[in-house]
């Protein structure tokens, strides 16, 4: 009986516990927000992407620009040349090589050119050779000349002509064996065959190969000398196959060698060879260089720069380009120290310049040094304008004006200003709070581009008219409602009295 009571109590307890658990589960689900299409703000925070801040234009005094070292360059049309850098090696020009061989067998007697890389001139003796076959041909030639002389007055038909024909055939055989005419004339003059025939160099150059020794027996197929003219050489450049499509015959080339610091050699592309090295995936490009002083020596390792002219294009100095996040920026000088950041699309780099695809035009003046400092200040101003907007109405200050020799108060009619035409007034006072007249005052309104809304940047520059007693006035049109970045510049006698930055909120739509 006790067991039955315990069993019933256990069942009741389990039911109660199950009910409590179900109730807590429903309460937990009802306390959590439900994500629906009409409540996109409930998406996880990690899926939200923050927009990259837009840099703001800034205005610097001449003293400030001099202090941070600001310099300027100009966007202009310049010749464009794509460069390919490669390695290469110097080789002999195959078309300037000559082989020395005899057309008859014989024994070498005297060797005049007896050292490799000895320089020889065209017609200079290389060696002498004795050939029994050559001596026999000379004797036949002398005999034919003697018979021709004896039979030249013969009245028998064909005898005189036959003797002359034999003499001519013997002479032609000597010439086919490349016996010089001077040697043939000597044979005729002396009436004796030449035992040692002198062989001369056919070209001027350096002996790069020598296979001649005294008393050596040589055959017509024996290559005795190789003479190379090194006044012009080839350089084989190893160009990666990805770049070889840019190279064409006639393109200028430049070579530098570690052995001659500061010296370069200029040549041109002669041929792109039609094969690819399967190991290095490079293509050999043959370059031709003149070689005064024989400074480029066969086998020498060189550095090659190939330059491919691409005509003229709009270019900006490379030092003007600033990589800011995912963008490439330059700062354009708009005058009076006003520097505007501009996103630019660039093409290839040519030496110290970038080719401009979009964003700049010829004649634009751009900052070429201190870009990083200017960009930092521009980012700070953009951040200040984005995260701390002033209250509606004119005169909300977004920047301080320390060290100014004057103060300015900006008002508008209507107040606050609105999208469209407005009248703006500047009350200019000296440091001791007295009205300051006779100054040149300019007020610049700027709103950066908002790419996400498809809106381009806007700028309104208002030269203010001196109304007397320190009051300056101008009317101008604002192209949109929203927060405008305002710069007030006051000058007197060429000296900057004031350079003040504000933000002004205008009413009206975008």
CATH code: domain of residue 54: 2.40.30.170
| Burial bucket for residue 203 (CB in 10 Å: 0-12, 13-18, 19+) | middle
Q: How far apart are CA 267 and CA 285, in angstroms?
A: 13
- DSSP letters along 461-478, please? EEEPEEEETTEEEEEEEE
Dig out the tokens for 475 from the structure: 């009317």
Q: Which of 228, 263, 286 lies at the terminal end of a domain, its last residue?
A: 228
242 and 371 assigned to the same domain:
yes
331 and 282 assigned to the same domain:
yes
- Taken as a whole, the chain contains a residue count of 510
| Strand duo 264-277 + 282-290: pairing | antiparallel
> Dihedrals φ, ψ of 29, to 5°?
-65, -35
pLDDT computed for residue 386 by the predictor: 45
301 and 266 assigned to the same domain:
yes
Task: Note if the bond before 416 is cis, omega within 30 degrees.
Answer: yes
Per-position pLDDT tens, the chain of length 510: 454 555 555 555 555 555 545 455 444 444 443 333 334 333 444 443 444 556 777 878 788 888 888 999 999 998 887 789 999 999 999 999 999 999 999 999 999 999 999 999 999 999 999 999 999 988 988 888 888 887 776 666 566 777 778 888 888 888 888 888 888 888 888 889 988 999 999 999 999 999 999 999 999 999 999 999 999 999 999 999 988 988 999 999 999 999 999 999 999 999 999 999 999 999 999 999 999 889 999 999 999 999 887 778 889 999 999 887 678 889 999 888 888 888 899 887 777 888 898 889 999 999 999 878 887 767 666 555 444 333 333 343 434 444 567 889 999 999 889 989 999 999 999 888 889 999 999 999 988 776 544 567 788 999 999 999 999 999 999 988 878 889 999 998 888 888 888 888 888 766
Domain-embedded: residue 14: no
427 and 317 assigned to the same domain:
no
380 and 238 assigned to the same domain:
yes
Domain-embedded: residue 204: yes
367 and 248 assigned to the same domain:
yes
Q: Are 208 and 228 in contact (CB under 8 A)?
A: yes
257 and 222 assigned to the same domain:
no
> What letter would DSSP give residue 194?
-
170 and 246 assigned to the same domain:
no
Of 109, 107, 127, the C-alpha closest to 225 is 127
457 and 333 assigned to the same domain:
no
Q: How far apart are CA 153 and CA 387, in angstroms?
A: 125
pLDDT computed for residue 43 by the predictor: 40
Angle of helix 159-176 relative to helix 181-190, nearest 10 degrees?
A: 130
- Coil, strand, or helix at residue 293? helix
Dig out the tokens for 509 from the structure: 């739509």
pLDDT computed for residue 332 by the predictor: 92
> What letter would DSSP give residue 374?
H
Does an H or E element contain 39, and which? none
238 and 380 assigned to the same domain:
yes
> Dihedrals φ, ψ of 361, to 5°?
-135, 165
pLDDT computed for residue 354 by the predictor: 87
192 and 336 assigned to the same domain:
no
Which residues constitute the domain of residue 349?
50-93+233-388
pLDDT computed for residue 215 by the predictor: 94
Dig out the tokens for 221 from the structure: 């197929």
Which are the contacts of 428, defined by CB distance < 8 A and separation ≥ 6?
Answer: 406, 407, 408, 435, 436, 437, 439, 441, 470, 471, 472, 490, 497, 498
Q: Are 286 and 42 in contact (CB under 8 A)?
A: no
Domain-embedded: residue 12: no
Domain-embedded: residue 10: no
CATH number of domain containing 502: 2.60.40.10
Instruction: Using CA atoms of 72, 78, 80, 83 in order, give the dihedral in degrees to the nearest 10.
Output: -50
Q: How far apart are CA 197 and CA 190, in angstroms?
A: 15
Number of domains in the chain: 3
- Coil, strand, or helix at residue 296? coil
Token pair 């979009």 is found at: 358
Q: Are 237 and 306 in contact (CB under 8 A)?
A: yes
Q: How far apart are CA 53 and CA 341, in angstroms?
A: 12
- Coil, strand, or helix at residue 270? strand
343 and 293 assigned to the same domain:
yes
Residues facing 351 on adjacent strands: none
Q: How far apart are CA 232 and CA 351, in angstroms?
A: 29
Q: Are 419 and 506 in contact (CB under 8 A)?
A: yes
CATH number of domain containing 120: 2.40.50.100
Which are the contacts of 429, defined by CB distance < 8 A and separation ≥ 6?
Answer: 406, 407, 408, 409, 435, 436, 470
pLDDT computed for residue 63 by the predictor: 81
Angle of helix 159-176 relative to helix 132-151, nearest 10 degrees?
A: 150
Domain-embedded: residue 447: yes
Domain-embedded: residue 502: yes
Q: Which of 369, 388, 407 lies at the terminal end of a domain, its last residue?
A: 388
């Amino acid at each position: 009986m006790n067991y039955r009571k315990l069993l019933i109590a256990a069942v009741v307890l389990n039911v109660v516990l199950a009910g409590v658990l179900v109730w807590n589960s429903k309460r937990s689900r009802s306390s959590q927000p439900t994500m629906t299409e009409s409540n996109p703000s409930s998406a996880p925070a990690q899926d939200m992407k923050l927009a990259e801040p837009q840099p703001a234009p800034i205005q610097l005094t001449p003293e400030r620009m001099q202090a941070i070292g600001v310099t300027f360059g100009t966007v202009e049309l310049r010749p464009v040349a794509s460069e390919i850098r490669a390695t290469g090696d110097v080789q002999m020009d195959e078309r300037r090589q000559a082989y020395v061989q005899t057309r008859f067998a014989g024994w070498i007697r005297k060797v005049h050119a007896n050292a490799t890389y000895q320089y020889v001139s065209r017609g200079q003796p290389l060696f002498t050779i004795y050939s029994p076959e050559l001596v026999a041909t000379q004797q036949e030639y002398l005999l034919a000349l003697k018979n021709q002389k004896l039979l030249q007055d013969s009245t028998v038909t064909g005898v005189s002509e036959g003797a002359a024909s034999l003499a001519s055939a013997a002479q032609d055989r000597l010439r086919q064996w490349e016996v010089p005419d001077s040697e043939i004339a000597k044979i005729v003059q002396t009436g004796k065959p030449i035992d040692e025939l002198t062989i001369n160099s056919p070209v001027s150059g350096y002996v790069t190969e020598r296979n001649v020794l005294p008393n050596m027996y040589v055959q017509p197929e024996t290559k005795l000398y190789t003479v190379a003219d090194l006044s012009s050489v080839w350089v084989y450049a190893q160009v990666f196959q990805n770049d070889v499509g840019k190279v064409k015959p006639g393109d200028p080339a430049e070579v530098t060698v570690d052995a001659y610091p500061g010296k370069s050699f200029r040549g041109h592309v002669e041929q792109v060879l039609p094969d690819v090295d399967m190991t290095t995936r490079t293509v050999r490009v043959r370059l031709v260089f003149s070689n005064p002083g024989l400074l480029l020596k066969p086998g020498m390792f060189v550095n090659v720069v190939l330059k491919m002219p691409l005509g003229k294009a709009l270019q900006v100095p490379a030092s003007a380009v600033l990589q800011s996040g995912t963008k490439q920026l330059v700062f354009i000088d708009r005058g009076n120290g006003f520097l505007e950041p501009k996103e630019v699309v660039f093409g290839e780099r040519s030496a110290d310049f970038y080719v401009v695809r979009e964003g700049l035009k010829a004649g634009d003046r751009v900052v070429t040094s201190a870009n990083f400092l200017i960009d930092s200040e521009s980012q700070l101003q953009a951040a200040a304008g984005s995260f701390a907007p002033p209250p509606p109405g004119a005169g909300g200050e977004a920047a301080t004006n320390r060290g100014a020799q004057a103060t300015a108060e900006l008002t508008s009619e209507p107040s606050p200003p609105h999208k469209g035409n407005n009248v703006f007034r500047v009350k200019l006072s000296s440091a001791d709070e007295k009205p300051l007249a006779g100054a040149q005052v300019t007020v610049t309104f700027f709103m950066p581009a908002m790419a996400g809304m498809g809106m381009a940047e806007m700028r309104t520059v208002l030269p203010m008219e001196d109304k007397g007693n320190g009051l300056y006035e101008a009317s101008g049109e604002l192209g949109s409602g929203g927060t405008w970045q305002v710069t007030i510049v006051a000058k007197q006698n060429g000296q900057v009295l004031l350079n003040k930055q504000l933000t002004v909120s205008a009413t009206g739509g975008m």
